[in-house]
């Protein structure tokens, strides 16, 4: 978009003239409840040299803020943001009835964040509520940014404040009221302090970085008819008319069996510039070798998934994710191998387990010498033992394990996801 100096009201008219489809009527805002948006506080984040440096590292690296909040050079490998537009905002997507603008994050007072408070920014970045109190669209990645520690969040904001002002008027986002209502129902304010994790442990560091970089969101096939597992790839990523399937990044021959050095090289060069710009490698290449190596180490701890995908090959049908993608026909649905365990153990595990945080229940029952699990009204899946207490769920996204209390009673079912998800035994 050009940098045009028009009064703010000209934004909508301008968009219509440029031939975009959509509603010409600005949509009303859906009023958020106290459970969806917390009140703003007057906290402020002090600027320090360390924070500005850390903020710049995060924003231009793993958090890839300028991949949406700038214009991008789609002709260059990896489609990096255009230098002169860094942070000045950009259009993200146009669907029927949806205009999505990633706003100007530079310190300009009229068109940027110059007059917004620190807590307005903090709430928007981690909790998905805009400075004006409306729900933000999830393409603003607050689902993963909510994992940011308070200190990293402060660094990001302090760095944004340091961006030189660019005057850039952009059309406002328009979301239909029912869409806003749907988004609002998933909001979850943060009211407790979020401490920094232990970053000296390489796996924990990698886990944190992978979470805030949202590797899981793109590299897991959340919307396909069948989900091959966490980080197993197969998610169709689209922006405008560019489209690619994410690939399998688990430690399997069909995924990422390569070592840390090869991983760092893949990310930093975008495989010699051949990787799709939908993989934000042109931002991740700014991540340090040490951090990339921690992400690699963490990914190698995740359950390996068998799922061949290649965006250059002719699409063929894939039984593993039930979509059409390159190398799809190399895949085959196989039952994971199990070990044999004492059948008496199985009775200990029978019961219902509930996630209080996400409000769903998994029921575990025994059929002859086989444990089966069912999530609410979902399909019934076999639990295939890997050890006395750890099982693979046929068709599940991650391994599960049963845990006992001090008295030896089985009290919890833990799903080994990016962060372990604990379900408490309720019956
Ligand atoms: C994948 C695209 C994408 C990325 C990455 C992204 N944003 Fe956004 N951001 C958006 C979009 C789109 C909106 C507007 C959403 C809406 O209006 O509903 C937005 C909105 C915002 C807002 C809210 C503005 C307001 O109205 O109050 C802030 C602040 C913001 N982003 C900051 C950031 C920061 C900081 C980062 C990096 C940590 C970031 N964004 C990364 C797309 C993105
Ligand atoms: C916005 C979506 C998106 C995000 C976020 C994302 N990826 Fe990707 N990634 C992709 C897509 C799409 C491809 C496939 C690109 C292609 O085939 O050209 C890919 C490819 C890759 C590859 C290349 C695999 C190979 O050998 O061909 C690696 C490695 C990778 N991603 C790692 C990561 C890591 C690590 C993260 C988190 C830090 C991450 N990705 C986050 C979309 C994403």
Nearest-angstrom CA–CA distance, 144 and 125: 10
Q: 287: closest CA among 232, 205, 217, 230?
A: 205
> How many angstroms does the Cα of residue 266 sit away from the middle of ligand 1?
27
CB 205 within 8 A of CB 199: yes
What is the rounded distance in angstroms from the CA atom of residue 370 to the CA atom of residue 387?
Answer: 14
CA 283 – CA 280 distance, rounded (Å): 6
| Integer Cα distance of 125 and 105 in angstroms | 12
Q: How far is the CA of 24 from the centre of ligand 2 (A)?
A: 36
Q: What is the pLDDT of residue 241?
A: 80
Confidence of residue 202 (pLDDT cuts 50, 70, 90): very high
Distance 86 CA to ligand 1 centre (A): 13
Residue 278 Cβ < 6 Å to ligand 2: yes
d(Cα 297, Cα 395) in Å, to the nearest integer? 25
Q: Which atom of ligand 2 is nearest to the CA of 217?
A: 5
Structural Rg of the chain based on CA atoms: 23
Q: Which of 270, 280, 264 lies closest to 218 in space, CA to CA?
A: 280
Cα-to-chain-centroid distance, residue 13: 34
pLDDT computed for residue 188 by the predictor: 93
pLDDT exceeds cutoff 70 at 11: no
pLDDT at 208 over 80: yes
Which ligand number lies closest to the CA of residue 273? Answer: 2
User: pLDDT by residue (tens digit) across 226-270?
Assistant: 999 999 999 999 887 889 999 999 999 999 999 999 999 999 999
| Better-predicted residue by pLDDT, 341 or 427 | 341
Q: How far is CA 39 from the centre of its chain?
A: 25
pLDDT band at 96 (very low <50, low <70, confident <90, very high): low
**Ligand 2 centre from 234 Cα, in Å?**
11
Query: Cα of 92 to ligand 1 centre, how many Å?
Result: 10
Q: Whose CA is nearest to atom 27 of ligand 2?
A: 247
Rounded distance, CA 144 to CA 167, Å?
A: 29
How far apart are the C-alpha atoms of 276 and 309, rounded to whole Å?
14
Higher-confidence residue of 239 and 302: namely 302
The pLDDT of residue 99 is 80
pLDDT digit string, tens, across residues 140-161: 999 999 999 999 999 999 999 9
Name the residue of 103, 137, 282 to mutate for ligand 1: max ligand atoms within 8 A of Cβ: 103
Report whether 397 contacts 235 (CB < 8 A): no
Place of tokens 């304010």: 189
Q: What number is the average pLDDT over the span 209-213? A: 97
pLDDT-based confidence at residue 95 (cuts at 50, 70, 90):
low
- Measured CA to CA, the distance from residue 214 to residue 233 in angstroms comes to 13
Cβ atoms 246, 185 nearer than 8 A? no
Residues in contact with 377: Cβ distance below 8 Å, sequence separation at least 6, in sequence order: none
Contact residues of ligand 1, CB 6 A cut-off: 59, 63-65, 67-69, 92, 100, 102-103, 105, 121, 124-125, 130-131, 136-137, 139-141, 145, 156, 160, 173
- Give me ligand 1 centre to Cα 103, in Å: 7
> For atom 42 of ligand 2, which residue has the closest CA?
279
For the segment 175-191, the average pLDDT, to the nearest whole number, is 93
* Nearest-angstrom CA–CA distance, 272 and 234: 22
């Amino acid at each position: 978009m050009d940098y045009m100096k028009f009064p703010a009201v000209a934004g909508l008219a301008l968009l219509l003239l440029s031939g975009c489809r959509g509603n010409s009527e600005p949509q009303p805002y859906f009023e958020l409840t106290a459970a969806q948006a917390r009140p703003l506080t007057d906290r402020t984040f002090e600027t320090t040299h360390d924070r500005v440096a850390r903020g710049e590292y995060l924003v231009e690296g793993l958090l890839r803020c300028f991949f949406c909040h700038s214009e991008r050079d789609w002709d260059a490998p990896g489609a990096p943001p255009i230098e002169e537009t860094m942070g000045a905002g950009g259009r993200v997507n146009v669907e029927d009835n949806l205009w999505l603008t990633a706003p100007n994050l530079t310190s300009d007072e009229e068109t940027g964040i110059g007059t917004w408070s620190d807590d307005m920014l903090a709430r928007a970045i981690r909790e998905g509520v805009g400075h004006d109190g409306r729900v933000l669209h999830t393409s603003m990645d607050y689902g993963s940014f909510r994992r940011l520690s308070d200190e990293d969040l402060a660094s990001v904001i302090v760095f944004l404040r340091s961006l030189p002002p660019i005057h850039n008027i952009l059309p406002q986002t328009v979301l239909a009221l029912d869409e806003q209502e749907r988004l609002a129902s998933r909001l979850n304010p943060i009211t407790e302090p979020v401490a920094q994790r232990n970053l000296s442990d390489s796996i924990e560091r990698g886990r944190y970085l992978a979470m805030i970089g949202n590797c899981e969101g793109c590299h897991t096939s959340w919307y396909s008819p069948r989900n091959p597992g966490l980080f197993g790839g197969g998610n169709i990523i689209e922006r405008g008319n560019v489209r690619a399937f994410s690939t399998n990044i688990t430690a399997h021959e069909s995924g990422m069996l390569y070592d840390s050095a090869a991983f760092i090289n893949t990310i930093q060069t975008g495989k010699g510039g051949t990787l799709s710009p939908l993989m934000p490698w042109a931002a991740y290449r700014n991540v340090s070798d040490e951090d990339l190596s921690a992400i690699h180490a963490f990914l190698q701890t995740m359950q390996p998934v068998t799922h061949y995908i290649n965006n250059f090959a002719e699409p063929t049908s894939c039984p593993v994710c039930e979509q059409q993608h390159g190398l799809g026909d190399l895949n085959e649905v196989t039952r994971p191998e199990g070990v044999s365990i004492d059948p008496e153990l199985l009775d200990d595990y029978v019961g219902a387990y509930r996630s209080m945080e996400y409000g769903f229940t998994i029921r575990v029952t025994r059929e002859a010498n086989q444990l089966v699990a069912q999530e609410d009204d979902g399909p019934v899946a076999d639990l295939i033992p890997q050890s006395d207490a750890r099982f693979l769920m046929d068709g599940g996204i991650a391994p599960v394990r049963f845990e006992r209390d001090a008295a030896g009673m089985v009290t919890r079912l833990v799903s080994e996801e990016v962060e372990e998800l604990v379900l408490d035994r309720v019956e």
